[in-house]
Amino acid sequence: KFEIFNLDMKTGDTLKIKGKISEDADGFSINLGCRSSDLALHFNPRFNESVIVCNSRCSNAWQEEHRDNNLCFSKGSTIKITIEMLADKFQVKLPEGHEVEFPNRHCYDKISYMSVKGGFRVTSFKL
């Protein structure tokens, strides 16, 4: 698990994360919010379902899932994910030009918490 508590990401900022997906990964998640119980973006590729699930979390309660069936990377690969924070949504740029959009449901204008969990090893990140 990779965690940052003082990220200081603001509307208009772009976060670039590079890393390697483990060969035996069932999936992984990248979480952005105020704390682990309040997430503006939960980005969760699941290899066992061949889907990318995005969600948000408010006071430990998960909200409605958004599912995208274009899983454009595989176990064992090294990838770069770019997340742009806009006033009304998050734009996630993935390999092969694929993009996933997810609404900024909590209307956050600042994000201080980030975590990466599961079968993904972060090799670099840049805000």
β strands within the chain, DSSP E: 2-4, 9-10, 14-21, 28-35, 38-46, 51-58, 61-62, 66-68, 78-85, 89-93, 99-103, 110-111, 113-118, 120-126
Mean pLDDT of the 53-58 span: 98
Q: Confidence band (pLDDT; 50, 70, 90) for 7?
A: very high
- Rounded to two decimals, the pTM is 0.96
pLDDT tens, residue by residue, 92-109: 999 989 999 999 999 999
Domains of the chain in sequence order: 2-126 (2.60.120.200)
Give the chain's mean pLDDT. 97
Per-residue pLDDT, 67: 97
The confidence score (pLDDT) of residue 32 equals: 98
Q: What is the pLDDT of residues 58-93, one digit of tens each?
A: 999 999 999 999 999 999 999 999 999 999 999 999
Assign 123 a pLDDT band (cuts: 50, 70, 90).
very high
